[in-house]
Structure 1
Amino acid sequence: MTRAVPPSHTRHRPPSHTRPRHTPPRHTPPRHTRPGRTRPRHRPPRRPRMASAEPPEHGPATTAGGRSPWVVMGAVLLGTYLVVINTTVLGVALPHIDRELGGTAPIDVDWVVTTYLLAVVLVQPATGWLGDRFGRRSVYLVALLMFGVGSIVGALAPTMPLLLGGRVLQGLGGGALMPIGMAIVYGLFPAHKRGQALGIWGMALMAAPTLGPPFGGWMVTAASWRWVFAALVVISAIGLLVAWRVLPTATRTDPRPLDIGGWVLAGLAMPAIVLLARNAQSWGFASVETFALAALCVVLLAVLVGRSLRRANPLIELRAYTVPTFAAGSVVLILVTMTQFATINYLPVELQVVRGLSAQTVGLLIVPNALAAAAMMPLAGRLADRVGSRLPVSVGHALGGASLVGLGLLSPETPIEIVVALMAVMGMSNGLSLMPTTVAAMNSLPERFTGQASALLSLTRQLAGAIGVAVFAGVLVAALGSVAPAGVDTAEAAADAQSGYNLVFLIAAGLRLAASVVSLALPGRRRMAELQNARAAEAS
């Protein structure tokens, strides 16, 4: 049955013998115009393209080996747990290390901590490229092996320089473990479960610092500081064996070239910032050394930024900050990290200086802070998946601001139970704020930038913590003459010291207020669903 054609659409066709054999082609208007339009359409300028970097893994519901992603995340946690506990476990061992190795070289024992931090910020800018180029599983295993070897060197070191060499190896391995581990966990789960997964991952990591001081103190008292490193060797070996069996093998790698010049610039700029933050107080904030190093940091960062924006495949993908959600999330993380380090570092000093409490007692009083943060992280992750990041982060800022104001209004006579309660509220606020912000920032970028985004966020937090410690140290030095003034043995002296520490926490409350304003740019329910669907479409 033939279909009738409306008369208005019929066309007279001459017989075939009268049609020319070579009919000239019909004129087709250019694609940018249409009938009745004489001017080309206006096309908005394209946004700068980020470097292409296909990641090795893409978030399946189950891994290539058929294992549950929760099992794989447990293996990743075993290694990354080392990095977190390593930052607190050696604090109680430093005096013992100084007594045994201090005479082997004219090196201050504080370099045991500083050397590790310098190695961390040296390797972290390149972890995105390393994971994309060689596969996250391979980089994770090598980093864990390097951390274990550094622990062996530390356990056997007969001199301070050899101990510092072991700390460099630990830092190079540990600096890669955290961002690579987060990228692996992020890629294991579908987009709508990543908040929950990162929340549980963060819960375990938040609990780690509370175990460091008691574990280190017990090891040092019962045996020797060397047994702290020996324990890290054992845990590294177990984590390496488990990861070897459990972690999925990369299916694709990206052969893009390494930006060696960018790594050299970052390798100079990031350690310079850490050194400036740690030494500005002892040098004097107005000293020639401080100004010279600060100027060097500015120049190096300016050259690094200019180079990164010009290259197609930069080491650090700074064009990620052109994505509003990623930029807002990064700013929120910077401000929250600065306030977090203010409470972790200077509230214990305040309690010892103003109230005369022992270091062991103060350590126990801080435990509820970490436990409250760990307890809130899974809830915060689920909320981020279901209702977006804006709600839990806003609630977290409200709790954090209230807690910091309370800490800023303390007096020497305030009951210690109130201080502990305020610290617990601060822990809840950090648990509600950190992971939802991280999930929003990473979901805002295409899957192929997971490794670089994870490295960039980890590096941002490292630098924010170092800068925050330096800024608040400067506030205390200006107000009290020292971070921990001596001779606080009268009620008047205690009140004066209390006012200096209160100023620190009130400034931190202002930073938390600024973070609450910036967090309004984080995605709500609808926008988070759009981001999840976009990431799920890329992974399918």
Structure 2
Amino acid sequence: MVVSLEEDSLTPRERYSVFTTTQRWCIVGIVAYAAWFSTLSSFIYFPALKSISQALSVSVDKVNLTITSYLAVATIAPTLTGDAADTLGRRPIYLITLSVYLVSNVAIALTNSYPALVGLRVLQALAISGTFSTAYGVVTDIASPAERGSYVSAVSFAGTVAPSLGPILGGFLTYAGNWHWIFWFLSIASAVCLFLIAVFLPETSRNVVGNGSRKPPRYLRPLVPALTEQWEEWEEKGIPLIKTSRRPNPLRSLKILVRRDNATVIMACGLLYVVFTCINASLSVLFIDMYGLNQWQAGLSYLPLGLGGTISTFFSGWLIDRAYRKARVTQGLTVDRGRGDDLEKFDIEKARLSVIWIPSAATIVTIVVMGWALNYKQHIAFPLSLLFITGLCMTLGFSIYNTLLVDKNQQNPSAAQASSNIVRCGLAAVAVSFLDDMLVAWGVGWTFTFMGGLCVCATGLFVIDYYYGALWRQNRAKNSHD
């Protein structure tokens, strides 16, 4: 008989997380806000490329170097913070990285030097690019597998709304003022986020506070313990402190990456992210050249992509969690929302990937059709409609993937996301550096057809993991136990 075990009947020690549903959503909201800057810092910049090149008297190609350098640093930087966040705690990583990020934004807003811009963009990427991997670690800390999809979707939403809202903000700020206002905006927004984390965000790392009921060291406590009443309620019930001797290891992300089951889905996501980045990097230029738009109007062209991604988040979590429960029921297993389910012998790959096929197929079709619609300069409403579908389907795919990756690596979720970052940002940096050459040599239609082909390859990799991922993962766990 299949039953669903809820939290209300469990003692604090037995629960997967002692944080209430309201507290969990507050926590996820804060970390999603922090993760937002990782992608926003890149995409808010695109509409200002021509303005920056004119203001600093350099070519657009040189300004593009600041994009490539940002992505290159973002490839490696999360490996420095991912395992540290898993081991030492989430709060110190957030406080340090956001502080450096704030300083770098203020410095960029004050500079008029191209060399300074390149160097500060590198510092900006070094500081902020790890916030996404840390956010997924927080989700794994507080949400059991049966309800994880909803919280992952919220974090994925932050990553999806940034590429669409970012260019709109960047275009408006550049059009209304100048490119410096982009970084004043980032400075103000990140200062607010840093304040929220310092004052309210509790420590959630299971290596430090377990399921949230263990009081962390004083330096890991928020200034206002509004989300940590459980310390006072249960600290006198004999729950021991967690002591860990493991030290942060930046190479742990590489060890995670070389596992076959991880490498397969990480490469699939990397290919999808290449396509997503190339679409966003090319849209403003293509719409300006083909439809005669100004920078502000070109920024608005990203709105359908973001709107589709936003709508996706309203049902993606429900869809992912429903597929999980259905898979458990099919195998005659219980769904334990309270304690959390043992995933070691469960085929989590099929449970998560069972809902990815339709959005993958729709993504392939819409990208190819959109490329040829732009190539033949069809009415602007047509490619904008296709952008909406692309945003909806790709966001859903990213939510499914990110949920699966933390499920595969529950002990090291931030390090696992950092390993994913190595691949997706590395591939995206290479692709963006060749994007203009491809558009010139192949034309818009064939370039987007090539991107559709990359999506086909990504879908093929998901198929491989669907059939073999659980076997590879379980064999590795068995060998490690032996």
Query: TM class, shorter-chain normalised?
Result: 0.7 to 0.9
What is the letter of the counterpart of residue 514 of structure 1?
C
1:82 corresponds to 2:37: yes
**Shift in Å, 1:167:** 2.5
Go from structure 1 to structure 2 and tell me whether the alpha carbon gap of 1:421 and 1:159 turns closer, same or farther (over 3 Å shift): closer
Partner of 2:46: 91
Alignment of 1:375-394 (within 5 A): 375-387=311-323, 388-394=351-357
Partner of 2:81: 127
Alignment of 1:97-108 (within 5 A): 97-102=52-57, 108=62
Give the whole-Å Cα distance in 2 for the aligned partners of 1:437 and 1:425.
18
Partner of 2:274: 338
Give the whole-Å Cα distance in 2 for the aligned partners of 1:99 and 1:354.
22
Alignment check: 8 A CA contact 2:161 2:310 kept: yes
Give the whole-Å Cα distance in 1 for the aligned partners of 2:413 and 2:15.
11
Same amino acid, percent of matched pairs = 22
Partner of 1:451: 414
Go from structure 1 to structure 2 and tell me whether the alpha carbon gap of 1:243 and 1:448 turns closer, same or farther (over 3 Å shift): same
Go from structure 1 to structure 2 and tell me whether the alpha carbon gap of 1:222 and 1:359 turns closer, same or farther (over 3 Å shift): closer
Alignment check: 8 A CA contact 1:102 1:109 kept: no
Partner of 1:9: none
Partner of 1:61: 17
SS in 2 for 1:61: coil
**In angstroms, what is the RMSD of aligned CA positions?**
3.3
Determine which of 419, 422, 426 is the counterpart of 2:383: 419
Go from structure 1 to structure 2 and tell me whether the alpha carbon gap of 1:216 and 1:357 turns closer, same or farther (over 3 Å shift): closer
Deviations 1:266-310 (A, max 9, x none): xxxxxxxxxxxxxxxxxxxxxxxxxxxxxxxxxxxxxxxxxxxxx
**Shift in Å, 1:150:** 1.0
Give the whole-Å Cα distance in 1 for the aligned partners of 2:266 and 2:380.
34
What is the letter of the counterpart of residue 512 of structure 1?
C
Structure 1, gaps ≥5 residues long: 1-57, 264-313, 480-499, 535-540
What is the letter of the counterpart of residue 390 of structure 1?
L
SS in 2 for 1:317: helix
Partner of 1:137: 91
**Shift in Å, 1:63:** 3.6
**Shift in Å, 1:396:** 0.8
Alignment check: 8 A CA contact 2:46 2:284 kept: no
Give the whole-Å Cα distance in 2 for the aligned partners of 1:416 and 1:322.
44
SS in 2 for 1:247: coil
Partner of 1:273: none
SS in 1 for 2:355: helix
Give the whole-Å Cα distance in 2 for the aligned partners of 1:415 and 1:333.
31
Bigger radius of gyration: 1
What is the letter of the counterpart of residue 443 of structure 1?
D
Go from structure 1 to structure 2 and tell me whether the alpha carbon gap of 1:383 and 1:330 turns closer, same or farther (over 3 Å shift): same
Could you state the TM-score of these two structures normalised by the residue count of structure 1?
0.65
Partner of 1:439: 403
Determine which of 367, 372, 376 is the counterpart of 1:404: 367
**Shift in Å, 1:138:** 0.8
**Shift in Å, 1:192:** 1.1
Determine which of 264, 287, 295 is the counterpart of 1:328: 264
1:180 corresponds to 2:134: yes
Go from structure 1 to structure 2 and tell me whether the alpha carbon gap of 1:511 and 1:82 turns closer, same or farther (over 3 Å shift): closer
1:461 corresponds to 2:424: yes
Determine which of 209, 215, 234 is the counterpart of 2:188: 234
Structure 2, gaps ≥5 residues long: 1-13, 210-241, 324-350, 478-482
What is the letter of the counterpart of residue 388 of structure 2?
A
Deviations 1:488-519 (A, max 9, x none): xxxxxxxxxxxx21111222222222222322
Give the whole-Å Cα distance in 1 for the aligned partners of 2:109 and 2:165.
20
Alignment check: 8 A CA contact 2:274 2:427 kept: yes
What is the letter of the counterpart of residue 461 of structure 2?
V
Partner of 1:520: 463
What is the letter of the counterpart of residue 259 of structure 2?
T
Go from structure 1 to structure 2 and tell me whether the alpha carbon gap of 1:157 and 1:191 turns closer, same or farther (over 3 Å shift): same
1:117 corresponds to 2:71: yes
Give the whole-Å Cα distance in 1 for the aligned partners of 2:160 and 2:438.
27
Could you state the TM-score of these two structures normalised by the residue count of structure 2?
0.72
Alignment check: 8 A CA contact 1:407 1:419 kept: yes
**Shift in Å, 1:197:** 0.6
**Shift in Å, 1:455:** 0.8
**Shift in Å, 1:59:** 9.3
Give the whole-Å Cα distance in 1 for the aligned partners of 2:135 and 2:431.
25
Go from structure 1 to structure 2 and tell me whether the alpha carbon gap of 1:152 and 1:364 turns closer, same or farther (over 3 Å shift): closer
**Shift in Å, 1:115:** 4.0
**Shift in Å, 1:243:** 0.7
Go from structure 1 to structure 2 and tell me whether the alpha carbon gap of 1:454 and 1:74 turns closer, same or farther (over 3 Å shift): same
What is the letter of the counterpart of residue 454 of structure 1?
Q
Partner of 2:122: 168
